[in-house]
Structure 1
Amino acid sequence: MNCGGVALCGTVQGEPASTARDEAEASLTWRRFPAGRGRIVANRWLDRRRALLFVAWFCLVLVPALALISWAARVGGVAGFVLLAVAVVVAFYVPVLPMVSVGEWRTTVNSASAIDGHTLLTKHGQRQPIDQDLHAGVIEVLEPGWRRGRAHVLGVHTDPAMDGSLDLVGLVLLPLLPVVKARRRATPWRLLSNPATGELRDARDLRQLADVLCASPMERDRVVGRTVLALSARAADTTAAQPEPDELPRGVWTALKSVGRTLPLLPAILVTIVVGGSIEAWRETGAGDAVANTAVHILLLSGVAAAASWSVYFLYRLGGLLAATVRAAARLRR
């Protein structure tokens, strides 16, 4: 196979569909990856990564920032306001980029794909496809690393300053445009190998992608096509469908994990409220000034708003778990 060949637009048949979701994805030309046990392993890798990020944020960012806020309230004056502003930004904004990255990874691991001509389509459950032109000269292969585990990732190189694609996070970080660019460049878009195990996607899928890229008029795409072709030489052709093993009935385990992921946020909310209450108690002694008042309002209002939002989200996830349990029980009775 050479890298100047004609793009393959043919289909690679998907796994047998046994549910409505599987049937909706049966028309996609790429098979789901990771599939079967590999997908469960990849999600466990992602769960561990998320847990590590949360612990690091709580211990290394939130707690020191709350201590700094408490100190700033006692310092007062201009220095106190500066310390207060810095601490608030650090405490409540630092986790945004890591959490966005985790969400992108979860979408990448659990969504299916298709190639139509030289357009790569992604499909998340029953949602509408999102497409990307593979001949636009913006495709790149990101190598394994500390941010991507053992995964080779098909990414999209974009410059938000040039194409107007700045999102809300990008607008807030406009003075830090290089950071936004770095986040966009490292966005996991399509997995070519499993981030947990390094297992490559099926060789036929990789060859199909390589042929499409190699037919691009853009040299950048052809270089990426040769990289993908080299990966396909190390991958295996698998013909058997991979069953999706479930540790609990289908859907229940996912819903249960969704409920569990909300629980660690509660200690962070409680600590925020407790620190605000301690500043308020100190302020009532008559020693506090405007900085202490501002700190109390920020922490107490943030804590109460976060607690209300958390309660609504927890009930929503709990309702999802109940619905998934009822559906699983109904299937078992058939």
Structure 2
Amino acid sequence: MFHAGLEALFGRNRDHHKKRHLFRLRRHRNNRKEEADELAKLFSDKPHTEKELISDSNFGFAAMQGWRSTMEDKYKHLIPFDDASWKLWSYFSIFDGHNGIETAKNAADHLEIHLLEILNKMLVQQKDDKINSGEPVRSSQLDIPTLCAAIKQAYFELDKHLKSMVKDDSGCVCITCLIGPEQIYLINVGDSRAIIFSNDGHILAHTEDHKPDDPAEQDRIHEAGGKISKSFAGDVLRVENQLAMTRVLGDFGMDKHIVPPMADIVDYPRDSSAAYLVLACDGIWDVMTNEDVASFIIDRVATTKLENIAAQLLDECLRRDSTDNMSIYIVKL
């Protein structure tokens, strides 16, 4: 018999949220009591609605545990990114953990270290008339393909580092943004997402989720020897009957050729059209579209602080039956 709280939770969203959010279960339970016990470990009898809020002149942040029994999201922001070459840049990142918190925690502690190390090496190797030693770097001084390759390499280096630190079976996805004085870089590994939109709520740029229903991801996984399937009727597609995302940090019990820490990067000019940036985990995107989020924010910016808009948006996601942890940055560009 299901716990009363679970009945209340899944009675409201049984159409798809129940099975959609079981990706932490490693296999389907045929025994109903056994499945109920597993669900009870994942979900609380009532949602945790207390929020962590951060306020700044140019951004707001909010996080909420929601229906989950534990909070597995981590986050990090650095303004400026460093005090030397990258002091005109800002860094924002959200790490959405699964199957434990260790990977997300360690990734949040170390990603910027790997990024700065490899980006500074890139500057040394690029030595030319465009870059003066000790002066702040601008995108126009950089070779963009080289920059993107360096960023991608940093994620592989981080994953190697995580393997020596993380002792459990956890993993995480990661959405990151590097904001330069001339260009914005959205960096994605997994199914969190970032969007850039205008003052009228028009979506200007966004990342693409790394999920098993993406034909390109399906081809890549099959070529790597992996399989994509549903664990049971009504389930979402999964990689190796386990993950509902196709690229991750951690998850070292799986073949990393199949689920690599391979980042995709979207760049967009930091011009007058770009008004706001949002980074958020899938607890938001499961129940709101890009346009929903942009409209929600634009409708409130004239009268409400960004961190309070972020908090209100999480409440709206809970009202729409999001059953996951939720974290969001709203950044004014």
Q: State the TM-score, normalized to the length of structure 2.
A: 0.28
Structure (1/2) with the larger strand percentage: 2
Structure (1/2) with the larger helix percentage: 1
Q: State the TM-score, normalized to the length of structure 1.
A: 0.28
Q: Which has the larger radius of gyration?
A: 1
